[in-house]
Amino acid sequence: MKSILFFALVCFSVSCFAQLPANGKKITGSITTKKGVVLKTGDKVRFGEGGLSSGAYQHIYTSFEKFGQKTANLEEGYAYKYAQIKEFREVGTGDEKRFVALVKPKGGISISLRAIDLEPAMASKEIISVNDVAISKLIPKKTI
């Protein structure tokens, strides 16, 4: 009887801590951000400094499954400053629609892809370049 109760308690605890998988529509091909920066799979991005006062990244997450969770941000002094874009996901609808890039760190042995909320990461300088070109140079100049 005790073992059945213990098993039920363990199952209940595990189900409470389980997270729903992150959803998002996979995008093939290139994307264009709201500022006009064109990105495609295979591009190399460089991480800048973390946007939080502790030095941690605010818009770069340890995995897509943990996207949006404040406790899943990459920590200060992340070892791999370069990453390659493997795929894009579109999260949200309407005005809340955002592009998320799944990237693989260069030189890392980790098999999990990191998730980057592209627009805010570029705005806060957590992503400072794409293919060794500064973000500010990638934004097209508006002509009058």
pLDDT band (50, 70, 90) for residue 97: confident
Asked if 57 contacts 47 with a C-beta cutoff of 8 angstroms, the reply is yes
Residue 1 lies in a domain: no
Give the CA-trace dihedral at 18, 112, 99, 22, to 10 degrees. Answer: -10
- pLDDT at 9 exceeding the cut of 80: no
- pLDDT at 11 exceeding the cut of 60: no
DSSP state for residue 143 in the 8-state scheme: P
Residue 125 lies in a domain: yes
pLDDT value of position 108: 62
Reduce the DSSP state of residue 94 to 3 states and report it.
helix
pTM: 0.73
Question: What is the percent of the chain where pLDDT is above 70?
Answer: 72
Weakest mean pLDDT among 46-55, 66-75, 116-125: 66-75
- pLDDT at 70 exceeding the cut of 90: no
Residue 10 lies in a domain: no
Number of domains into which the chain is organized: 1
Residue 15 lies in a domain: no
Closest by CA position to 112, among listed 61, 73, 51, 77: 61
Residue 128 lies in a domain: yes
Closest by CA position to 61, among listed 19, 121, 123: 121
Residue 85 belongs to what domain range? Answer: 21-138
| Mean pLDDT score across all residues of the chain | 78
Residue 49 lies in a domain: yes
Residue 74 lies in a domain: yes
Q: Measured between alpha carbons, how far apart are the two ends of the chain, in Å?
A: 78
Residue 4 lies in a domain: no
